[in-house]
Amino acid sequence: MPMFMDVHNVEGGVSAADVADAHRADLATQSEYGVNYLRYWVDEDAGRIFCLVEAPNAEAAERVHREAHGLVADEIFEVEEHA
């Protein structure tokens, strides 16, 4: 399945606790769209969030965010893992 990295930019910063809540909402919603959110990273001060997700396409990953909590990514990139 394709893998994507999305990037969120939150003006004024973001708390790790709020991102954890949003991630839990993604996990509760993802199966409806054949999506698997794997990991996320947060830069609280800069207000940047990065999400790694397996999804059939970028649109499915975006739908999960939109339905789960409304915080859609500013950018989404298809990525490949290399060992």
- 3-30 residue pLDDT tens: 999 999 999 999 999 999 999 999 999 9
74 pLDDT band, cuts 50/70/90, is very high
Instruction: For strands 48-54 and 3-9, give the pairing.
Output: antiparallel
Mean pLDDT of 50-66: 98
pLDDT of residue 49 exceeding 90, the answer is yes
Domain ranges (residues) in the chain:
3-79
Phi then psi for 42, rounded to 5 degrees? -130, 135
For residue 80, the model assigns a pLDDT of 95
Looking at domain 3-79, its CATH class is alpha beta
For residue 83, the model assigns a pLDDT of 82
